[in-house]
Amino acid sequence: MSSVSFEAVRKVFGKTVALPGVDLLVRDGEFMVLLGPSGCGKTTLLRCLAGLERIDGGSVRIGDREVSDLPPRDRNIAMVFQSYAVFPHMKVYDNIAFGLRMRKKPKPEIERRVKEGAALLQLEPYLDRYPAQLSGGQRQRVAVARAIVTDSPVLLMDEPLSNLDALLRLHARAELKRLHTDVKRTTVYVTHDQIEALSMGDRIAVMKDGEIVQVDSPSIIYDRPASVFVGSFIGSPPMNFLKCAARDGHAVGDGWEVPGPPGMDGKPLLLGIRPENIRIGQGPLRGRVIVAEPLGSHTLLTVQVGKDSLKVVAPADDVFKPDQSLQIAPEPHKIRWMDEASGTAIAAPN
Amino acid sequence: MSAAATPAPQRKSQRRGVLVDRILLYGVAVLLALWTLVPIYLIAIAAFSEKVAVFEYPKALLPTRFSTETMEFFVGSSGVITSVKNSVIVALGTIVVALALGAPAGYALSRFRFPGRDAFQLAVLSSKMFPIAILAIPLAVTFIDLGLYDKLIGVIIIHSAMVLPFVIIVTAGVFATVSRELEEAAQTLGTSRLGAFMRVALPLALPGLAAAAIFAFVTSWNEVFAATILTLRERTLPALVVASLNQSPLYFKFAGGFFLIIPSLFFIWFMRKYLFNLWGPGR
């Protein structure tokens, strides 16, 4: 079994604490995405798992092996780098075969597995070429093939799609997901792209300032963010947050009132609601359209409600004009209440 | 910008500008080539003419009276063969020592942030501040004390010291162009730290290392001063030629000069494919 576990993993660079103490369990065969803004420590965490960084505290385990002090080659992992790190002085075949040769596999087996890997990533026509003769997308596939043919039970990926252009990235994303279904390796995938995270991950670990702030399935991360940070980092446009105060089981905002969370009387709250979970027509919130942006599949409205402005997704067929007045209603079961002081979610009663 | 949008006169002047650039570029290239080729050519003619041809004036610009007489005389002179052998040994020894010490130093400079890194870099360069002429006498004394005087190993040490700063700086620059992720990838694929260096960084740095090797070879092959001061019987070729300069006839000097040029040309010829890799479009 090859689960991966981090226990109180600490990493310090000089005087900067990159990871104060991270705990995370990645289950066997799971596709775990580490998501966060740049500089949040996600790549550092991955490199600690790979053995490319020494940890300053805690422990890293792969399966039931403690690997904290092992060099990368003894950890039985494979890694895909952001720059692909395809060896420019070797042909595609030799690149893919590199890990197998280092593991001293017999020659016929190397040949068979390189062919299999090349087939899986549609690289057969290029085995005899040098990386300089390949496109970015092909090089990326070489890097992936090189990593998976080694049969390492744990696969690490550090933003493998970030150097591809938008269209290719879309394609490669689907390919990687298909590949994961095929090979079922425990995968730890680092990205700052929330769409990648939502579309590929079995679970997402959202990181901020070296700490993991939420680990959940993509749908839970999206629907029930654990904090204002998660809600506003994920989703495009992000979740709306409206200021309000709890009073007698209600949340009272600037000119509006909706049923609120119990037991929070007097405390300042934030009403979190996704732009697509706001109904237009009847509702307790009155607002004014500031901008209407038709985006083809829908129209994105920026609506001023009291002092807050929020994004609302409206059907593409409806026509809105600037300054038009609206009544809107957040769908009650989609509301995510946050404690304004701490920025964390208030446990929902349901 | 579309061609139609540009007024015709401007286009013409642009084209003329490109032409002028071209002419300048090729003109300078031709001048530089002549600068090195003409002396080599004249020396070659003199070396392969009859002895008396050297004293003729005006000089024949074409080899009218080809003869190997002069070269035979030179090669047959006492000590020449030995000193050629010495020169080859010293030059190759210099390459080995300078690369063995310089390449790891360059690698460390490019890869690691260590305390004193900047000071080290400066110290490497500052060693070039002292002219060998000033150091020669104290060095000779020290070498006599150490028993290195008039030994080829002594010359190898001096020549290595002379080329090391260049080798270190060049290899540091070369290793800096080899992405660290490549070595890390090799490590995740099953090599040790050293294995990653040997299998990935070193092959990729080869062109730069070849350039450093050429520099070491040519420097050592042509170096006169230290070799003259530090040897008596174990002369390298330049030292021998210089030592016998006053007593030797003119045609001997031409033959010696030609003989000194040839190995450098061959060495560069063999290394040139690595140089083109480094500076050309190959990568």
Indicate whether B119 belongs to any domain. Answer: yes
To which H or E segment does residue A24 belong?
A: strand A16-26
Mutate which: A46, A70, A73, A139, vs B, most B CBs within 10 A: A73
Asked if B227 and B205 count as a contact pair (C-beta separation under 8 A), the reply is: no
pLDDT digits (tens, 9 = 90+) for B204-213: 988 888 888 8
Residue of B161, B264, B195, B47 lying closest to A74 (CA atoms): B195
Q: Residue B7: its pLDDT value, please?
A: 54
pLDDT band (50, 70, 90) for residue A167:
confident
Indicate whether B62 belongs to any domain. Answer: no
CATH number of A240-339: 2.40.50.140
Cα dist. A48→A12, B30, B187 in Å? 11, 56, 14
Indicate whether B61 belongs to any domain. Answer: no
Q: Residue B1: its pLDDT value, please?
A: 40
Q: Over the range A4-40, which residues count as b (16 or more CB within 10 Å of their CB) and which as e?
A: bbbbebbbeeeeeebbeebebebeebbbbbbbbeeeb
Q: Over the range B243-259, which residues count as b (16 or more CB within 10 Å of their CB) and which as e?
A: bbeeeeeebbbbbbbbb
Indicate whether B69 belongs to any domain. Answer: no
pLDDT band (50, 70, 90) for residue B8:
low
Query: Where do you find CATH 3.40.50.300 in chain A?
Result: 4-229
Q: Are residues B40 and B138 in the same domain?
A: no
pLDDT band (50, 70, 90) for residue B243:
confident
Considering only alpha carbons, which residue of chain A is nearest residue B181?
A85
Chain B contact for A163 (CB, 8 A cutoff): no
Residue of A19, A64, A11 lying closest to A40 (CA atoms): A19
Indicate whether B159 belongs to any domain. Answer: yes
Q: How far B267 CA sits from the closest chain A CA (Å)?
A: 24
Asked if the model's pLDDT at residue A244 lies above 80, the reply is: yes
Chain B contact for A54 (CB, 8 A cutoff): no
pLDDT digits (tens, 9 = 90+) for A102-134: 999 999 999 999 999 999 889 999 999 999 999
Q: Residue A185: its pLDDT value, please?
A: 92
Domain count of the fold of chain B = 2
Q: Residue B4: its pLDDT value, please?
A: 46
CB B179 to CB A83 under 8 A? yes
Q: What is the CATH number of the domain that holds B89?
A: 1.10.3720.10
Chain B contact for A103 (CB, 8 A cutoff): yes
ipTM: 0.86
pLDDT digits (tens, 9 = 90+) for A289-325: 999 999 999 999 999 998 889 999 999 888 898 899 9
Instruction: Tell me how far apart the alpha carbons of residues A236 and B212 are, in angstroms, rounded to a whole number.
Output: 54
Q: Residue B48: its pLDDT value, please?
A: 83
Q: Are residues B146 and B269 in the same domain?
A: yes
Q: Which pTM does this prediction carry?
A: 0.79
CB B188 to CB A72 under 8 A? yes
CB A150 to CB B187 under 8 A? no
pLDDT band (50, 70, 90) for residue A42:
very high
Q: Which residue has the tokens 């290394």?
A: B271
pLDDT digits (tens, 9 = 90+) for B144-163: 999 888 889 999 999 999 99
Q: Are residues B196 and B245 in the same domain?
A: yes
Q: Residue B244: its pLDDT value, please?
A: 79
Written as one string, the DSSP assignment of A120-160 is HTT-GGGTTS-GGGS-HHHHHHHHHHHHHTT--SEEEEEST
Q: Which residue has the tokens 């965490």?
A: A45
Superfamily for A4-229?
P-loop containing nucleotide triphosphate hydrolases (3.40.50.300)
Instruction: Tell me how far apart the alpha carbons of residues A51 and A283 are, in angstroms, rounded to a whole number.
Output: 55
Q: Are residues B119 and B21 in the same domain?
A: no
- Measured between beta carbons, the chain B residues lying within 8 angstroms of A52 are 184, 187-188
The whole-chain average pLDDT of chain A stands at 92
CB A52 to CB B188 under 8 A? yes
Domain span holding position B43: 3-47
Asked if the model's pLDDT at residue A240 lies above 70, the reply is: yes
Q: Residue B3: its pLDDT value, please?
A: 44
Indicate whether B131 belongs to any domain. Answer: yes
Sign of the Cα torsion A75, B179, A197, A13 reads positive
Asked if the model's pLDDT at residue A335 lies above 60, the reply is: yes
Query: Where do you find CATH 2.40.50.140 in chain A?
Result: 240-339
- Measured between beta carbons, the chain B residues lying within 8 angstroms of A85 are 179, 181-182, 184-185
Q: How far B188 CA sits from the closest chain A CA (Å)?
A: 5
Asked if B65 and B49 count as a contact pair (C-beta separation under 8 A), the reply is: yes
Single-letter amino acid, residue A278: I
Asked if the model's pLDDT at residue A255 lies above 60, the reply is: yes
pLDDT, mean of residues A225-238: 94
Mutate which: B114, B182, B188, B200, vs A, most A CBs within 10 A: B188
Considering only alpha carbons, which residue of chain B is nearest residue A148?
B189
Q: Are residues B108 and B170 in the same domain?
A: yes
